[in-house]
């Protein structure tokens, strides 16, 4: 049982449903991991991509990490019973010789291949990923996961009216909570878009805002003061990821719920956030991305470290907004997951026959992650394979 080929394509993705709108030139890596295992007369192929917002990792994947998997001996790659690829063992092979620290873009490249490995392993086992992962961890997967709709990026024209229309579409799909962006405009402008959003949402406790790490200390405290009276669901990514001094100052001043962790990629950084970021363990939210954190192995280490420090598992709401994150939240019993119903095509959102009911959604029950049930993503992935 071995991996015979790994293919990577770097592709553009957009923050908007209309890819013609400016989106900063974002890209991501899509990978196909071909195995010599045959199911239903065809080789098993695992598919993965580099999640949202960190750009493609083709060079690192092709030149550094994929070759380590392709050189692996069967005994180092497969499970002890010889019946499946073991993604945890594969992760150890990918990280052989790597020094601790220096996370940068390396973590995203590893996480991209890790997603494809888990997709392949679940297909070989004939199980949805949530079931396979939960079985490995001795758990029962959650049949339906709390979800919220991510999006709400700035529109170059008619921003507030288009934002309101986007949120209305989210509610019609069954989402009860949503998140919009702030921080790239003056506070007065952000408050106007917040007021427009609140006219649509059931209440302020159904709306979160995400500053995308934009604020310095003065701007962060000013924004926190302006936002506090609204009673929002949460205020996310207030400042630079490692600016724990500002994060702590905002936590001391802001009475509402904060969310952090999207741009931190390791258990070491997670420990520092808990020690110095001033977060409240029984109130605040952790939005680490299970792809960007070196894949599931790294993400599970973060969960273990923070649980041991008193964080409840329900504090974790993985960033990403795609099917992989939904499976992870189901398997681990996390608080919920982001879904991007209109942005980051073809990967954002649920599978085509997936439905949100009262703010909850179930992962696909297809073996693997379920990309085969998401037509636009599946068309892209099949371009990678013969």
Render 105-125 in DSSP notation, one character per residue: THHHHHHHHHHHHHHHHHHHH
Alpha helices in the chain (DSSP H): 58-60, 66-70, 74-77, 87-94, 106-125, 129-136, 159-172, 187-198, 217-227, 244-253, 267-276, 295-308, 323-332, 375-382
Name the β-bridge partners of 3: 35
Alpha helices in 25-158 (DSSP H): 58-60, 66-70, 74-77, 87-94, 106-125, 129-136
For the question of residue 199 being annotated catalytic, the response is no
CA gap 10, 7 in Å, rounded: 10
Among 319, 322, 327, 374, the one annotated catalytic? 319
Question: And the tokens for 53?
Answer: 């917002």
Q: Are 119 and 295 in contact (CB under 8 A)?
A: no
Whose tokens are 């991501």? That residue is 28
For the question of residue 181 being annotated catalytic, the response is yes
CA dist 197 → 200, 267, 344 (Å): 5, 35, 21
Among 16, 181, 292, 351, the one annotated catalytic? 181
Name the β-bridge partners of 7: 32
CA gap 80, 84 in Å, rounded: 9
Catalytic residue ranges? 181, 319
């Amino acid at each position: 049982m071995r991996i015979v080929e790994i293919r990577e394509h770097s592709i553009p993705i957009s923050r908007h449903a209309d890819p013609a709108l400016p989106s900063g030139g974002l890209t991501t890596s899509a990978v196909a991991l071909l195995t010599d295992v045959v199911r239903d007369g065809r080789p098993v192929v695992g598919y993965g991509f580099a999640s949202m917002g960190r750009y493609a990792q083709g060079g690192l994947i092709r030149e550094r990490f994929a070759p380590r998997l392709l050189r692996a001996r069967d005994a180092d790659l497969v499970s002890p019973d010889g019946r499946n690829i073991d993604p945890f063992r594969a992760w150890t092979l990918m990280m052989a010789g790597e020094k601790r620290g220096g996370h940068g873009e390396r973590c995203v490249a590893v996480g991209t291949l890790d997603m494809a490995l888990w997709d392949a392993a679940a297909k070989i086992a004939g199980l949805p990923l949530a079931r396979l992962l939960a079985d490995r961890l001795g758990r029962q997967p959650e049949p339906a996961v709390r979800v919220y709709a991510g999006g709400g990026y700035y529109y170059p024209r008619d921003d507030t009216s288009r934002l309101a229309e986007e949120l209305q579409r989210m509610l019609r799909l069954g989402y009860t909570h949503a998140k919009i962006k702030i921080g790239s405009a003056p506070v007065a402008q952000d408050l106007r878009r917040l007021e427009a959003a609140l006219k649509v949402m059931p209440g302020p406790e159904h709306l979160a805002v995400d500053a995308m790490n934009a604020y310095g200390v003065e701007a962060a405290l000013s924004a926190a003061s302006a936002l506090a009276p609204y009673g929002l669901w949460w205020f996310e990514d207030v400042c630079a990821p490692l600016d724990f001094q500002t994060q702590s100052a905002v936590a001391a001043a802001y009475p509402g719920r904060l969310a952090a962790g999207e741009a931190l990629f390791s258990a070491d950084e997670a420990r520092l956030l808990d020690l110095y970021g001033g977060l409240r363990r029984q109130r605040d939210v952790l939005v680490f991305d299970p792809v960007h954190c070196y894949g599931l192995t790294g993400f599970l280490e973060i969960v273990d470290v923070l649980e041991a420090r008193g964080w409840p598992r329900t504090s974790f709401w993985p960033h990403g907004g795609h099917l992989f994150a939904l499976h992870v939240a189901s398997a681990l019993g996390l608080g919920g997951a982001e879904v991007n119903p209109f942005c980051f095509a073809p990967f954002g959102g649920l599978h085509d026959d997936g439905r949100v009911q009262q703010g909850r959604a179930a992962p696909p029950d297809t073996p693997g992650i379920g990309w085969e049930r998401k037509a636009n993503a599946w068309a892209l992935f099949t371009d990678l394979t013969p």
